[in-house]
Amino acid sequence: MSCLFCKMAAGEIPVDFVFESSNVFAINDISPQAPTHVLVIPKVHHENAAELSAKAPSVLAELHAAAAKIAA
């Protein structure tokens, strides 16, 4: 497994989660471009958002809901 985010999701790289569910997690960006800069990431690897939308639309919806919750 070479994907940095997959390693985080698997617990191979320790991170402080801003948010975590069974399908997505969120972390603070290590090089923030704004005062609050959070990355919300699916736990299962997908090459891009189009693939995520096609293969796991419920995870994409959960990702959006997590982002909204974090932003509130």
Residue 64 sits in a domain of what CATH number?
Answer: 3.30.428.10
Q: What is the pLDDT of residue 1?
A: 62
How far is residue 14's CA from residue 7's CA, in Å, rounded to a whole number? 9
Walking along the chain (72 residues) 10 residues at a time, the average pLDDT comes out as 90 96 97 94 95 96 96 90
Q: What is the pLDDT of residue 50?
A: 96
41 lies in which domain range? 4-71
Q: Where are the alpha helices (DSSP H) in the chain?
A: 4-9, 49-55, 57-71
* Domain count across the chain: 1
Beta-carbon contacts of residue 37 (< 8 Å; ≥ 6 apart): 28, 29
> Rounded to two decimals, what is the model's pTM?
0.89
